[in-house]
């Protein structure tokens, strides 16, 4: 497992995620180019989260072919959904028709989009910075 993947998974394990890094300066040209490359790779990733023994796990169904890029998507999902496990389990256990239960779970998941967007951006920028320095 890559270092980035290990860091993201460790962060996701915490109940209250630490603040995402804040980049106050615009990215350099090399970093901006790498962000575009990473973004294109992320577009090919397919997977999701699943409950496993009361915990959430990220499942990659189609990898980008780049472990560090896959870790951005999984890390963002784990980071944002980990604090919501109790609520998602509560919704999942409701004694209502499956269609209604799924609608409620999807509505709750939609509230996490800002967290996911921020985590994706921070992960992409971080990985792009690391890779640009390595060149």
**Cα torsion through 90, 49, 124, 44, rounded to 10:** -140
Owning domain of residue 57? 3-15+28-134
Q: Quick one: average pLDDT of 2-8?
A: 47
The rounded distance, in Å, linking the Cα atoms of 128 and 38 is 8
Residue 65 lies in a domain: yes
Residue 22 lies in a domain: no
Residue 89 structure tokens = 């389990």
Residue 84 structure tokens = 């919501």
* Structure confidence at residue 6 as a pLDDT band (50, 70, 90): very low
Q: Quick one: average pLDDT of 21-26?
A: 74
Q: What is the pLDDT of residue 50?
A: 86
Over residues 73-96, the pLDDT tens digits come to 999 999 999 999 889 889 989 999
Task: Give the number of C-alpha atoms closer than 13 A to the C-alpha of residue 94, restricted to the C-beta side.
Answer: 16
Asked if residue 2 has pLDDT above 60, the reply is no
Residue 127 lies in a domain: yes
Q: What is the pLDDT of residue 7?
A: 45
Residue 20 lies in a domain: no
Q: What is the DSSP string of 73-90?
A: HHHHHHHHHGGGHHHHHH
Backbone torsions φ then ψ of 26, nearest 5 degrees: -65, 155
**pTM for this predicted structure:** 0.77
Residue 77 lies in a domain: yes
Asked if residue 8 has pLDDT above 50, the reply is no
Over residues 40-51, the pLDDT tens digits come to 999 999 999 887
Residue 35 lies in a domain: yes
């Amino acid at each position: 497992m890559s270092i980035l993947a290990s860091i993201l998974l460790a962060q996701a394990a915490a109940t209250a995620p630490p603040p995402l890094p804040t980049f106050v300066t615009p990215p350099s040209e090399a970093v901006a180019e790498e962000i575009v490359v990473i973004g294109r790779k992320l577009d090919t990733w397919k997977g999701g989260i699943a409950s496993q023994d009361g915990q959430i796990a990220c499942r990659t169904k189609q990898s980008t072919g780049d472990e560090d890029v896959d870790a951005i998507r999984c890390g963002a999902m784990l980071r944002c959904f980990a604090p919501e496990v109790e609520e998602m389990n509560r919704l999942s256990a409701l004694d209502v028709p499956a269609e209604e239960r799924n609608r409620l779970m999807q509505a709750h998941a939609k509230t996490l989009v800002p967290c996911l967007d921020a985590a994706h951006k921070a992960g992409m920028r971080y990985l792009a910075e690391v890779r640009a320095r390595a060149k």
